[in-house]
Structure 1
Amino acid sequence: MKAIPSALVVAPGESAGAALTDGAFELLADGGAVSASRLTLTTGADGAPPHHHKLSHELFYVLGGTMLFRLGETLTTVGKGGLVVVPPGLPHVFGAAEGESADVFVVLSPGVERFGYFEQLAAISRGKAEFTSLLPEQNRYDVHFEDLPDWRALPSR
């Protein structure tokens, strides 16, 4: 007899979190079919460093505020209710738009166990670890870093 799969249910308060210098991160699902998280950013704060994924699509749904995304060579602003889907291989970076805070739901599919990655980012944001500590972990977390030092400077289209 074939086993019936079970559903994942995460009740309020059951998720894992990490405090960031410029916001907070809440991991709702880690690995499997999806990795899902909620990221809140203070006014004008950057999210993750510029990167791409080799294996996963990344979906962003803006719950509140306004996000700024660099998607390859395109800079775009997305407000509450907006959706962005980034395919594997596309360099991207994101943050709260200038003068705005942001609240965003993020899904990576297929999922990759990433809580260790976000814990390390939190430690880096608080000055307790160096960014270079993530470099050997790029394949493990399917986060491959890009060199875009002034990513917000690209002219909007």
Structure 2
Amino acid sequence: MTAGQTAGVLGANRLAVGPGRDGAEPHYHALSTEIFYVLDGTLEFLLGDRIETVAAGALVVVRQRLPHAFGAAAGTVAELLAVLTPGVERFGYFRRLARVQHGLEPFGGLRAEQDRYDVHFVDAGHWSSLRAAR
């Protein structure tokens, strides 16, 4: 559901993340709060400087400007619903992100769109090292 379909009140996306794969690099939203509902599997969330592991049925609320990331736990496929409020039209962002994940576009291209999509990337080193240690 796009923000345009809800008059900007929210944007919602259903996502599937493969076993042990990252769903999003560390980033924050300057304008919106993001809500995640885990539909299936187990996810690891970076919330600031800590990792929380959550299973199906869990709800995670990420306030504005809190750096966060998420990925499926090793050995599990995870599905989640992500809601951003107020909504920011991010259809183009998810289209480009899919291209990055399939090697069709460099990740750096998304950095130029940070303000447009309210997705502000932060250093991924901490997230990567915490995930590797698990």
- Provide the residue aligned with 2:69 in structure 1: 93
Higher relative contact order (CA 8 A, sep 6+): 2
Equivalent residues in 2 for 1:1-157 (5 A)? 28-31=1-4, 32-154=8-130
Give the count of matched residue pairs. Answer: 129
For 2:112 and 2:123, the matched residues in 1 are separated by 16
Distance in 2 (CA, whole Å) between partners of 1:73 and 1:141 is 23
Q: 1:137 to 1:116 in 2, by over 3 A?
A: same
SS at match of 1:48: strand
Structure 2: give runs of 5+ residues left out of the alignment: none
- Greater fraction helix: 2
Taking only aligned residues, the RMSD between alpha carbons, in angstroms, comes to: 1.5
Q: Percent of aligned pairs with the same residue?
A: 52
Normalising by structure 2, what TM-score? 0.91
TM-score where L is the length of structure 1:
0.78
Task: Kindly state the Cα deviation for residue 129 of structure 1 after the two structures are TM-superposed.
Answer: 0.5
Task: Please give the per-residue CA displacement for 1:16-64, whole angstroms capped at 9, x wherever unaligned.
Answer: xxxxxxxxxxxx2334100000001111110111100001000000000
Moved over 4 A (4+): none
Q: Which structure: larger Rg? A: 1
Unaligned runs of 5+ in 1: 1-27
